[in-house]
Amino acid sequence: MSDFPFSIIGFDLDGTLVDTAVDLAAGLNHILRLAGRAPLAVDEVRPMIGRGGRHMLEQGLVATGGVPEDFDRLFDEFLDYYEAHIAVHSRPFPGLADALDRLDTLGVKTAVVTNKTEHLARLLLGDLGLADRMATIIGGDTLGRENAKPSPAPIHEMIARCGGGRTAFVGDSIYDVTAAKRAGVTSILVSFGFLDRPAEAFGADHVIGHYDELVLLLETL
């Protein structure tokens, strides 16, 4: 029987498991073109990611002249475009597959809690061969938008679905760190994610710079 100190490891999706920035920026820039706006660079879009597509689109529109009255129509257009191009460039971050293999060998359940809609999260993870590796996938709309991160509710739900036990949550945003802290679980920040501030400013319990470090860190806690 494994003496590994954790039973459940939860992950955020965008900027944590998968580098989705190029595909998300393409979707945002598609809408900016429709609105007659100039496109944004991928590096400008990265800090806007983390609280769901609606928030990202709002931020992109604010940065290029303001949110128009037909925002809901533009958001629907964004969802249609993004769903059709969800994994053109998106790929798991280096070392992730090996880390998941190691956690699986140790009998640890892995799961996803994202502010992406559950439908899009399952589509992306399925396209990348990661969906079946997760004990559960919880999206930003699964429990209602009012219960998306930084609420601890989806992390509590993840733990319940996985059968309980000591848990750590891995993410790249203040929403991830806040949700983990409110849920009373260990928070781990990936410094290679879509950070909008220096890694030390997030207040996470621990920071890793590569997935090669994850299991080694967890073994010491």
Annotated catalytic sites, by residue?
A: 12
Which own/partner pairs from 178-183 qualify as long-range (CB within 8 Å, at least 24 positions apart)?
178/149, 178/150, 179/113, 179/149, 179/150, 179/151, 179/152, 179/154, 179/155, 180/152, 180/155, 180/204, 182/150, 182/151, 182/152, 183/152, 183/155, 183/156, 183/159
The neighbour count for residue 41, using CB atoms within 10 Å, is 9
- Burial of 44 per CB tally in 10 Å (0-12, 13-18, 19+): middle
Tokens of 104: 């699986």
Cα gap 221→205, rounded to integer Å = 11
Residues in the chain: 221
The neighbour count for residue 39, using CB atoms within 10 Å, is 16
- Burial of 89 per CB tally in 10 Å (0-12, 13-18, 19+): middle
Phi, psi of 66 (to 5 degrees): 115, 165
Q: In sequence order, what are the beta bridge partners of 138?
A: 113
